[in-house]
């Protein structure tokens, strides 16, 4: 069964515009770049380099969580009327599966539940070989923009 289109006004988000949206804030500083949008998912990638390493040369778990929260919260916000609402993180968890030393990691956030006041998204982060690096789930609050 095909996925139902979840985006506000039936318009898939523009990855380049989403990348630009975060260019001057944390996503831009750590190199997050949105790459694709499907009917009910959003993808972004992040470099594994000095900006995102922990002191021992591996991808920092906090960087994975920042990527997961960024792609899911932006995705959730894109399901809402931009004149009135935004989605913000309430709770996030992450299971770090395997280390990554270099290259890119790609996060695909998929909507699990889109409610009036909360949303739940699952985020799968993989390495350049497509191997699972981190599995995360986030609950987001839908709040008034302002």
3-class DSSP state of 123: strand
d(CA 118, CA 11): 21
User: Which of 74, 75, 70 has the alpha carbon at shortest distance from 39?
Assistant: 75
- Which of 76, 79, 77, 72 minimizes the C-alpha distance to 145? 77
Alpha helix positions (H), 1-146: 15-21, 26-29, 61-77
The catalytic position among 33, 36, 69, 112 is: 69
Task: Return d(Cα 141, Cα 8) in angstroms, integer.
Answer: 17
112 is catalytic: no
Q: Would you say how long the chain is, in residues?
A: 146
Q: DSSP character for 4?
A: P
Active-site amino acid positions? 69
């Amino acid at each position: 069964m095909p996925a139902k289109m979840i985006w506000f006004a039936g318009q898939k988000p523009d990855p380049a515009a989403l990348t630009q949206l975060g260019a001057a804030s944390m996503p831009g500083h750590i190199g997050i770049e949105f790459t694709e949008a499907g009917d009910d998912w959003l993808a972004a990638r992040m470099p594994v380099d000095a900006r995102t390493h922990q002191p021992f040369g591996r991808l920092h778990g906090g960087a994975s969580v920042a990527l997961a929260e960024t792609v899911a919260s932006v995705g959730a916000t894109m399901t809402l009327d931009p004149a009135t609402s935004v989605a913000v993180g309430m709770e996030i968890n992450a299971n770090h599966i395997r280390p990554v030393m270099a290259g890119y990691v790609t996060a695909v956030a998929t909507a699990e539940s889109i409610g009036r006041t909360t949303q739940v998204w699952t985020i799968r982060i993989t390495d350049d070989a497509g191997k699972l690096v981190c599995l995360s789930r986030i609950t987001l609050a839908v709040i008034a923009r302002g």
